[in-house]
Structure 1
């Protein structure tokens, strides 16, 4: 571009002369599509950055509109209000989203991936209880270690009757997800924080061979 007098600050008007494109002739073989562009008449109105949205309308450019146009849409999940509550701690909310999507790299998923790559692998066990294979359902909160954590924290927010199964916990939270009552907000925070603590403890043992005892 510099060879022909253009740079990153060049404007469309710099390559238009009397309504016709004035591209360097040397570009004809390299960029033939440029020579097929229709003529353009410029006006003196200020430039605008516009975007064609999903409805085919030309609107002022905004990253929100671009995202809404290109993203894959799906039905809103019934648990979304529980996960993405304005009161939730972002890193805790993100972890809960991964759990609900079954996207954490638990050992059962690692085993499936490893079989495809290497054939087979000795079965691994949960590093929190050293008993069963680590899965999403086992970690949250059916493992003997995480179950004890759940039993400790659930009583603090009136969830004593909710058992340790993740699906049952989520089912209890969903109809209360929009509530701004202190106990309901606290229940969402407690569940997310407990899940985050369990996953952090698991990672400490998995990657660094470290671990903590149960809180008293």
Structure 2
């Protein structure tokens, strides 16, 4: 008689999934800690978006504060909403980044496999974390204070905060090519 295993039954029920290990990639010292936390929560879909707030009975409607077209879910808030899309486009131009994001996991997977060196990938993750934080911040400003920020202003905030953080924790030993690339990010205006 074969031995029963809960683990085998569970794996049959959910199917085989390749594990993605983002923790060491996401939790790097170049990112601002509060940016890392919000990005991690967004990736795990644990932020209190309006769809979750409606399920909890806190709000009556789950429509997006910015576009008033879609329902505010994690995917909509960070990738489908016109406002968030504008934030992302401005930041992509600043970085020279050319992927069309669908979900957060795909962006991280793309960055992990990209041909850029390790330092540049960590800078891009820091920028992405900063962008996720600023999108969430702008959403909260609109939702709770009635203030809607222009995408250029939010993108400029991301640029300033992230570049200042990177230069404050910059390693002493840095290849000249990375230093030139980082200086070009600092000088390029959003």
The two structures share one fold, judged by TM-score above 0.5:
yes
2:94 corresponds in structure 1 to 156
Q: Secondary structure at the match of 1:212?
A: coil
Q: Indicate yes or no: 2:49 matched with 1:106.
A: yes
Measure, in 2, the Cα distance between the counterparts of 1:84 and 1:167: 15
TM-score normalised according to structure 1 size: 0.55
> Which residue matches 1:71?
none
Return the structure number with greater helix share.
2
Structure 1: distance between partners of 2:131 and 2:42: 13
Contact 1:81/1:174, CA 8 A, preserved across alignment: no
Normalized per residue, which structure has more strand?
1
**Unpaired runs of at least 5, structure 2:** 1-18, 153-189
Poorly superposed stretches of 4+, deviation over 3 Å: none
Per-residue deviation at 1:122?
4.2
* 1:50-61 pair list within 5 angstroms: none
Structure number with higher relative contact order (C-alpha < 8 Å, ≥ 6 residues apart): 2
Larger radius of gyration: 1
**How many angstroms does 1:80 deviate by?**
0.6
User: Structure 2-normalised TM-score?
Assistant: 0.62
User: What's 1:211 paired with?
Assistant: 148
2:125 aligns with 188
Q: How much is the aligned-residue C-alpha RMSD, in angstroms?
A: 2.4
2:70 is matched with: 132
For residues 129 and 198 of structure 1, the distance between their equivalents in structure 2, rounded to whole angstroms, comes to 14
Give distance in 2, aligned partners of 1:186 and 1:155.
15
Q: Which residue of 1 aligns with 2:107?
A: 169
Is the Cα contact below 8 Å between 1:107 and 1:124 reproduced in 2? Answer: yes
Write out aligned runs for 1:12-31 (5 A).
Answer: none
